[in-house]
Structure 1
Amino acid sequence: MTSPVWHPFTQHGLGEPIPHVVRAEGALLHLADGRSLIDGISSWWVTTHGHCNPRIAAAIAAQAAQLDQLIFAGYTHGPAEAVAQGLIDLAPRAPDQPTLSHVFYSDSGSTAVEVALKMALGYWHNLDQPERHCILVLEHSYHGDTIGAMSVGERGVYNAAWQPLLFDVGTIPFPAPGCQQACLAALEAACAQRPAAFIVEPLILGAGGMLVYSPDILREMAAICRKHDVLFIADEVMTGWGRTGTLFACEQADVVPDIMPVAKGITGGAMPLAATLATAPIFDAHYSTDRAKLFYHSSSYTANAIACAAAAANLAIWREEDVLGRIASLAAGMAARLERLAHHPAFVNPRQVGAIAAIDLIAADAGYLSDLAPSLRAFFLERGLLLRPLGNTIYLMPPYCADMDQLDRLFAAIAQAGDYFGRNA
């Protein structure tokens, strides 16, 4: 019987197998046919402490029996208040920079970015400067799949059908090695034209190919924005919650953004929830006795109580357990194995930021629509691994509970893929 489910980023016409997962624990996914998979990408970068973490699961169960859902327009509840304060307490801080002091809830990374863009434009509109509406973006970026998020991301086959809906942006070249000064000069020139905001993925671009740049460049980009009074938006949806080795990537550059979307790991990966953090000036621009200046955005499930309870449990884990220590151990294990893999003749450009590692398979046909990525997915699935390469880029982003034996299996399979696909390229 054909399933009625329409899966994301899936071409059903190819007839590729869709494994049925019935249970999960730690870094493992258990299938209906009895097999198990190592989740090498944290189920699309969301699972941090491991699947079905007992503390988070218990918090979800307890909250579901007490308060499940509440309209958040003009009402509040304990879990939302606790999580908001917890986020503010853990947010990046740096000398002589304003603190992130307000939290607006949403339900996914894309919507958190939409909120950030609307905050930025609302800020200038309410300051009677509506001409400041241009958004600057970094080349090769990805910020989500809703219209605003697609507009500030890379253009290509994945959003070509909706091109008429996308707004124009100013694109700053990616600061690749040898191109850093060109990037900064382009940003300086663009900021001099008084745009509204500049949005970046800090330190590493995810879906754009796991492209890495230094904390120094991030710091200089933020400084240019401050110099020209351009709002700096750091999209920490993927990079937050320890992925880059610190709780938030911005910490490594001593940068406090004006606006910071977070999602994915905010509940440890257990429930859909997102938040957009903002500094006081952003909030104050919408604070008025004039109802026309309120922030016109919401969704039905804004600050869902059960999702907030999961997030509160996640924050407690970060406060009370040595999560950064686990990440450091995992990152060290990944680094040693990546260094060995770097000598394989089928691979180039090994790179790592915290608990994210990536390497490129040398291939003639490596584009987004090439047959390489689905062939690699099938290759890894046969070996009991959930990996989802980006074209010819194979990356790992496992849950922080992954052990060294599981890393051995992941890296061994990548080496085997190099043996097979390198020979058959």
Structure 2
Amino acid sequence: MNKANLWHPFTQMKDYNDSNPLIIERGEGVRLFDVQGKAYYDGFSSVWLNVHGHNVPELNEAITDQLGRVAHSTLLGMANVPAIELAEKLTRIAPKGLSKVFYSDSGATGVEIAIKMAFQYWKNKGNPAKNKFITMNQAYHGDTIGAVSVGAIPLYHDVFRPMLFPSHVIPYPYAYRHDGGAAAAKEATLSALRDLLETSCEEIAALIVEPIVQGAGGIIVMPPGCLCEMASLCRKYDVLLIADEVATGFGRTGEMFACELEDVSPDLMVIGKGLTGGYLPVAATLATDEVYSAFYADYEEQKTFFHGHSFTGNPLGCAVALASLKLFEERGIVEGVKKKASFVEHKLEALIERPHAGEIRQKGLMIGIELVRDKSSREPYDWADRIGVRTAMRARELGMLTRPLGNVVVFIPPLASTEEELDAMTDILTKSIVDVTEGGASL
């Protein structure tokens, strides 16, 4: 039935149907179990969203308890208790100034909302000429049409280009940490943004950015101070800043939100993935009072934000999100990330001298290990070598699940992982890389 009826996302089904598919039956803690009963560490948090592990009693109970009240009630012109309570909680933990919450059901739809809000904000303010967007090279913001329009990964996005609105693209500040090029990369980004804003700010509605860490582009970490200076340029030239915290939010980088690492308060912020602890599809777009006020008008002015989703503010999802945030507080999850990140960094030092580990990129518990054919020249593996895929398959054989980004092996474990579990996972990760790139050389 799996091969006959199910079409998997981001998956070449011809390859998949020729393989031995993994079918998950249950989860417990940081492990998943397949239908044969084999256990696997969840080394990528089930696509970057699991926080507390699987089958968490407190989260299960929150859903069951809410289910006994009401499973769903629309937010169109009415409200429900968990959605109200979660909105209040989110505005208390978000960067300063983000006081309004608009719910959706995925990161992509949250981005779509932010783009439409920014576009209509300027129209409602009487400045409809500000209708263009700035994005960054190799950006990924989701797969709906608007989100793809501000995406810039050719492999994912070029096929849809005729359907999209054009965006200005500036470089994301990438540089090998080994060659001291971070300062130059930062200045190249800031210079490109500054030049674009100086010449075109009258037509720019917003800049959208993955703050501090660019995810699907390869786990690229910004040089210190870059995000803060980008935010300053947006303020100077009267351009909105949209922070896409779908991947980086909820403790992943060592702060509740990555923007907090540089004390940045965006005009719009998109959150998802870890919002419900990885349990249910709830996302949100947070806005400032300034943005909200541009839509607050008499009915006949037609400034209403005509956007919504059937399951917006779903009570089950909001209830489990509240329970997840309670666990963040009770268990010191964010504070624990910093210590665990240091432990992982130390463990991965074993890869630094390996001939095919080009760079280890890390912020908090968001890690990407770039594999290269030749370390000295940085010669990449050819796409057809499938080196990342082969490494992930070797990790699966050894008992850990992950999913690569091309030739970058991703390690994004649940935040609640213990040091003992992280020790086991990093051992599997290291052995998988050495087995595939060096033919099983000794560690």
Q: TM-score range by the shorter chain?
A: over 0.9
1:5 aligned partner, one-letter code: L
Within the candidate set 63, 71, 76, 1:60 is matched to 63
Q: Tell me which residue corresponds to 1:225.
A: 234
SS across alignment from 1:351: strand
Q: Tell me which residue corresponds to 1:119.
A: 117
Show structure 1 runs of 4+ deviating over 6 A: none
CA contact (8 A) 2:394 2:436 kept: no
Q: Tell me which residue corresponds to 1:13.
A: 14
What's the CA shift for 1:422? 2.4
Aligned-partner Cα distance in 2 for 1:367–1:76:
53
| Residue 193 of structure 2 is aligned to residue 187 of structure 1 | yes
1:418 aligned partner, one-letter code: I
CA contact (8 A) 2:40 2:401 kept: yes
Structure 1 unaligned residues grouped into runs of 5+: 94-98
CA contact (8 A) 1:334 1:357 kept: no
| Residue 288 of structure 2 is aligned to residue 279 of structure 1 | yes
Within the candidate set 276, 297, 319, 1:288 is matched to 297
CA contact (8 A) 1:365 1:372 kept: no
1:56 and 1:124, CA in 2 relative to 1: closer, same or farther beyond 3 A? same
2:28 aligned partner, one-letter code: E
SS across alignment from 2:259: helix
Within the candidate set 107, 110, 113, 2:108 is matched to 110
Aligned-partner Cα distance in 2 for 1:370–1:165:
32
What's the CA shift for 1:376? 2.1
Q: Tell me which residue corresponds to 1:50.
A: 53
Give matches, 1:15-414, under 5 Å: 15-93=18-96, 99-176=97-174, 177=182, 178-192=184-198, 193-194=200-201, 195-291=204-300, 292-363=302-373, 366=381, 370-414=385-429
SS across alignment from 2:113: helix
SS across alignment from 1:101: strand
* CA deviation string 1:355-383 (max 9, x = no partner): 11222111366466652232222211111
What's the CA shift for 1:323? 1.1
What's the CA shift for 1:216? 0.6
Q: Tell me which residue corresponds to 2:179.
A: none
CA contact (8 A) 2:216 2:405 kept: yes
Aligned-partner Cα distance in 2 for 1:355–1:287:
40
What's the CA shift for 1:423? 3.1
Name the Cα RMSD after superposition. Answer: 1.7
The alignment covers a number of residue pairs equal to: 420
Aligned-partner Cα distance in 2 for 1:13–1:391:
18
CA contact (8 A) 2:31 2:39 kept: yes
2:400 aligned partner, one-letter code: L
1:370 and 1:167, CA in 2 relative to 1: closer, same or farther beyond 3 A? farther
SS across alignment from 1:82: helix
CA contact (8 A) 1:268 1:314 kept: yes
CA contact (8 A) 1:360 1:393 kept: yes
Aligned-partner Cα distance in 1 for 2:126–2:170:
27
TM-score normalised to structure 2 length: 0.91
* CA deviation string 1:129-152 (max 9, x = no partner): 111111001111110011111111
Aligned-partner Cα distance in 1 for 2:207–2:335:
33
What's the CA shift for 1:405? 3.3
